[in-house]
Structure 1
Amino acid sequence: MSQENKTAEGFGMPWEDVYGYAQAVKKGNTVWISGQLGHNEKGELAEGMEAQMIQSYANIKELLSRFELTMDNVVEEVIYAMDMTTAFEARKNFKTDFYSNPKLVASSMIGVSGLALPGQLVEIKIIATV
């Protein structure tokens, strides 16, 4: 799907059509990745913060690869978390699994009282550049 030199990608999840959005959009040298959840290809959420965060980053990596990018192209992430302490620990403990140099990524973590799906504990939004 292209419009105004934009290219979009999705996972074919039901909520993409229901809500109406792209999982990732590229325009020019920038890729914006919508908040990623810790779900597999069937739309099933992983159990627990750590597992959901790991799966969220796996989904991010998959979307980046569709634009021939890697996690090294990420310039900013925003993490929305139901439990800040658990999310902070998970991100801290796995930072080098997610990024080769985490100190080259601007990161914000925001505590929220609710997310899109029942049982969802974390959502991660990304901006990457070519």
Structure 2
Amino acid sequence: MKLSKESKGMGMPWEDSYGYAQAVKVGDTIYLSGQLSHDAQGNMVGAPPLDEKGRILDHANMEIQMRQTYENAKSLLGQFGATLDNVVEEVLYVTDMDAAFAVAGTVRKAAYGVEKPNVASTVLVTPRLALPTQLIEIKFVAKV
């Protein structure tokens, strides 16, 4: 039995170079690949300073990157006629747990538009994400 999938993208160069879909809808479920804080041209919003070895020196832009990441997820969900209200699960991958926790409550509440988002959420720390200036990546699952 062939699975019926509908996929969407954002036109970012890494979609073709890595070879993946930004989002895939199967039945009433939308799976969003890890979203990050790029603008429409693929430039990192809130890029932190790096040392000579390409390591992040400062995580102060975590809030800027987190806000942009949620905006990108909204845009991608919108391609399916969905919103963040349809999200049932998210997984946040961050490069600094303290910086993420310092801003996550405020940013998430603003993104979802409610004081206590009705979303299962997991936060994991990792030493590095796909792009050197990336502080956060968020994976989403939504139901429509």
TM-score with structure 1 setting the length: 0.94
Distance 1:122 1:29 in 2: 27
1:9 aligned to 2:8?
A: yes
TM-score with structure 2 setting the length: 0.85
* Residue of structure 2 equivalent to 1:96: 109
Letter aligned with residue 25 of structure 1: V
Distance 1:89 1:73 in 2: 25
Unaligned 5+ segments in structure 1 are none
Deviates more, 1:30-39 or 1:101-110: 101-110
Distance 1:30 1:81 in 2: 25
Answer with 1 or 2: which has the greater Rg. Answer: 2
1:110 aligned to 2:121?
A: no
Question: Once superposed, what is the RMSD of the aligned Cα atoms?
Answer: 1.2
Deviates more, 1:41-50 or 1:69-78: 41-50
Unaligned 5+ segments in structure 2 are 47-60
Structure whose residues are more often helix by fraction: 1
Distance 2:123 2:139 in 1: 10
Percent of aligned pairs with the same amino acid: 49
Residue 49 of structure 1, CA deviation: 1.0
* Residue of structure 2 equivalent to 1:33: 32
1:76 aligned to 2:89?
A: yes
- 1:67-119 CA distance string (max 9 Å, x none): 11111100000000001111112211222211134441000000001100011
2:137 to 114, 123, 126: 123
* Residue of structure 1 equivalent to 2:80: 67
The list of structure 1 runs, each at least 4 consecutive aligned residues, that deviate by more than 2 angstroms after superposition, is: 100-103
